A and B are shown apart, each in its own frame.
Chain A
Amino acid sequence: MVAIGLLALLYGWIAGLEADRIYANLHLNSFYFVSLGLTGLFFVAVHAIAESGWQVSMQRVGEAMSMFIPVGGIIMLIVFLAGGMHHLFEWTHEDHLDHILIKKVAYLNQPFFYIRFFVFFTGWVLLAWLIRKTSRQLDMNGDIQYFNRLRKYSAFYVVFLAISSVVSSWDWLMSIDAHWFSTLYGWYVFSSMLVTGFSVLVIFVFVLQRMGYMKHVNEEHIHDMGKYMFGLSIFWAYLWFSQYMLIWYANIPEETIYFYERLKYFDTVFYFNLIVNFAIPFLLMMPRNAKRVYWVVIPVAVLIFIGHWVDLYQLIMPSAVGHEAAGIGFLEIGLTIGFIGLFMLVTFWGLSKAPLVPKNHPFYEESLHYHTNY
């Protein structure tokens, strides 16, 4: 499967269309999957801080997902250095900056951009490594000091991620439309990645169970993941609405142009985004039993994965590529499949590096005997 993924990666490259489009797609996918890695780790971290017990049986998957972060980072860097900067970001054309872009030069300049890039990735990779290491140490000798250390690193990670995800989304996504701005943007993107990351985690758990592992994960755990998918989809839709409605209401042209372009030329994508990412999870995942059974949870998780890819598409493409050149064709699908393959490769490799079941974790017993009443 992974081999097919890698082939698709090459194929997608050869399909050779507008350079803008190729770079934009590479950028989109690398950002998407790095975010999934970050969110997988966030799953581990946030539950460690909250001292919750039920997720312990699944947290190895989150840790493994985080191994993709450096891989995606390298791809992003190559894309930027190999010409992506000029194709994606209009503010890199230093010789013809208009009067608005000139004001932003103190922030939107290439050296500072790269410095921030390295700060983010260093922080992420370092904290991911620390958390994974401590988690494994905890498993090896169950000493409570490792548990406390895990909580400490998790707290650092959550704080660092809060700031870095917001600033990185400004750098890598919002500045594609450098004339536009929105204070909610960072949180909006983060919420999108959060729900997708948790959905992908569930898909991995499902695949592992099909392969015969993780027998201790029962429908109670799936129920909770289903609740996350339901609730976080609603949260994402709430942020989407906040951003959209406020810009619609005040009707200030320098803000509305963003949505005007999308509604005029990308309307199918725009509405698809809303229906797949909100209406479907909201309606399908509302009944209690729907959240407990794989045959509802997994298709919805897959839809969420596709839907938020489309969300990212409508964030990037209209500005990076423009409505004449953009489209969803072999390039997009092929490249995405390639990245999926790569992500799966890295995650499974990560899973093989540590025992799937953290037996010595102080909350492991709780996770085993887990039974919710609602």
Chain B
Amino acid sequence: MYVSPIREPLIRGEKNYSQVTKDILAPMAGKPSIYWYLGITLAGIAALFGAWATYQTVYYGIGTWGLNKTVGWGWGITNFVWWVGIGHAGTFISAILLLFRQKWRTSINRSAEAMTLIAIACAGFFPLIHMGRLLLGFFIFPYPNTRNLWVNFNSPLLWDVFAISTYFAVSLIFWYVGLIPDLGTVRDKAKTKIRKAIYGFLSFGWTGSSKHWSRHETVSLILAGLAAPLVLSVHTIVSFDFATSVIPGWHTTIFPPYFVSGAVFSGFAMVLTLLIVARKALNLEEYITVNHIESMNKVIILTGSIVGIAYITEFFMAWYSGVEYEQYAFMNRAFGPYAWAYWIMMTCNVVTPQLFWFKKIRTSLVATFIISIFVNIGMWFERFVIVVTSLHRDFLPSSWVMYSPSLVEVGLYVGTIGLFFTLFLLFIRVFPVIAIAEVKSVLKSSGDHKKTAHHE
């Protein structure tokens, strides 16, 4: 297919196919670097903190958390929404960018999708742990029982159960189906019998037959077409947890698309944080180029701006509605006892992404890395502000109270961060981080030895 000569190449270094295979398989071979060991040790310690906190919660109960009657949802749900939001970038890159034919997604989709799966696992941990009687957790699924009871389909919390489960399941098969051919590559290049056997098993006997490839493409396309509305629906349903209520600051119709944009926003920030480090550590700079980073930054401007417009809209509409409770909710956010959280949120989410309008900043790796961290912090605070400030002072002043997390709650959060990085570091060693076959398929049209047009 014709590619205009003014487009920047997506793969540098004048690679051919076998070089691509070598480069991408390299991080999986040999002994891991000292940094990998350092990383996984730190992550492991964090995860242990989480394990302690889990034990405290399960053995002693939710009383070990800082929740109270007024603020019934605190760090738990904030973290849940934060993790689910982060997971959305992977599906966005895999599915929505595929539908928009953005070839630059090929170097980043595999790791982004893996990140999604890990993030959803971390997210799902919170609803499970907050249940109190964990062993009866299966009650949330509809199954015939002797009490003739069914789940409450009217509740957005239940819609969440279906949404998150479906999202995890579909993301898993989407990631895995894409991975099968690359696992075939790993199998064929495996040097030991055990490795060959394991990857042979995992690659499902992939042969590279054109009939298989053709149907594989169809399956990937349809999965993308399904995953795109799915990812929109998941964070929409998460937003319904809040928006279906009558609480000022929660009940507002803009929540669904605003939450979805926010999710993509924070997700891309996390992808950037991970990949800026990974591309250097794994010598993949010729595949994840500055161009890719810049494109991701453009998505951040877009989604960050949408979030910013949503903030302004909510604020304006609170005034316009004339509803004093709504007006107070926003006044309280900006000037009440949690104002510090609010202003961190505003600075990180509204101000910092706008810096990416400047090309120098967009193409600077250091700036991008710093801004991505700020965005993630800002988005955490956004969920915190939404949850806690709306709850701690709603309709009845006599119920107004403050909330702060207990060590156990902090431990659970830190634990999930530890779990996330542990799993991601393992992923790098066990699976190819970049979609080998997909990169090869765009090598001719978008690699840098093909600056002139190429016709089929």
Contacts and interface: CB of A to CB of B under 8 A. Distances in A.
B2 A369 contact: yes
B4 A363 contact: yes
Interface in A227-274: 227, 231, 234, 238-239, 242-243, 245-247, 249-250, 252, 254
A88 B392 CA distance: 41
A163 interface: yes
B313 A166 contact: yes
B382 to A, nearest CB: 16
7 contacts: A162-B305, A166-B309, A185-B253, A242-B253, A243-B253, A245-B244, A369-B455
A100 B82 CA distance: 37
A103 to B, nearest CB: 4
Contacts of B244: 245-246, 249-250
Given A182-B253, A183-B254, A374-B217, A162 B243 contact: no
A51 B455 CA distance: 21
Contacts of B437: none
Given A181-B317, A183-B254, A234-B229, A104 B322 contact: yes
A374 B221 contact: yes
A181 B217 contact: no
Tell me the interface secondary structure of chain A in the complex: helix
Contacts of B229: 234, 238
A181 B326 CA distance: 12
A107 B320 contact: yes
A39 to B, nearest CB: 18
Contact of B4 (A104, A242, A365, A371): A365
Contact of A163 (B3, B7, B232, B309): B309
Contacts of A363: 4
A247 B221 CA distance: 35
B240 interface: yes
Interface of B: 1-4, 6-7, 99-101, 217, 221, 229, 232, 236, 240, 243-246, 251-257, 305-306, 309-310, 313-314, 317, 319-323, 453, 455
Contacts of B252: 183-184, 246
Nearest to B315: A183
A183 B313 contact: yes
Nearest to A224: B101
B313 A186 contact: yes
Contacts of A246: 240, 243-244, 251-253, 255
Contacts of A185: 253
A321 to B, nearest CB: 23
A100 B4 contact: no
A184 B1 contact: no
Given A163-B309, A234-B229, A183 B253 contact: yes
Interface of A: 50-51, 53, 100, 103-104, 107, 144, 147, 159, 162-163, 166, 170, 181-187, 227, 231, 234, 238-239, 242-243, 245-247, 249-250, 252, 254, 362-363, 365-366, 368-374
B1 A183 contact: no
A187 B317 CA distance: 14
B118 to A, nearest CB: 28
A181 B254 contact: no
B320 A366 contact: no
A162 B309 contact: yes
Contacts of A374: 217, 221
Nearest to B298: A49
Residue among A159, A183, A370 with max Cβ neighbours from chain B (10 Å): A183
Given A100-B322, A254-B323, 16 more contacts: A50-B100, A104-B320, A182-B317, A183-B254, A183-B310, A184-B256, A238-B232, A238-B236, A245-B240, A246-B251, A246-B255, A362-B6, A365-B453, A366-B2, A366-B3, A369-B1
A231 B313 CA distance: 25
Contacts of A366: 2-4
A280 to B, nearest CB: 18
Residue among A53, A144, A370 with max Cβ neighbours from chain B (10 Å): A53
A368 to B, nearest CB: 8
B246 A365 contact: no
Contacts of B99: 227, 231
A194 to B, nearest CB: 13
Residue among A147, A238, A371, A373 with max Cβ neighbours from chain B (10 Å): A238
A72 B236 CA distance: 36
A247 B253 contact: yes
Residue among B100, B232, B313 with max Cβ neighbours from chain A (10 Å): B313
A252 B246 contact: yes
B339 to A, nearest CB: 22
Given A159-B305, A250-B244, A365-B453, A144 B6 contact: yes
A289 to B, nearest CB: 14
A362 B3 CA distance: 10
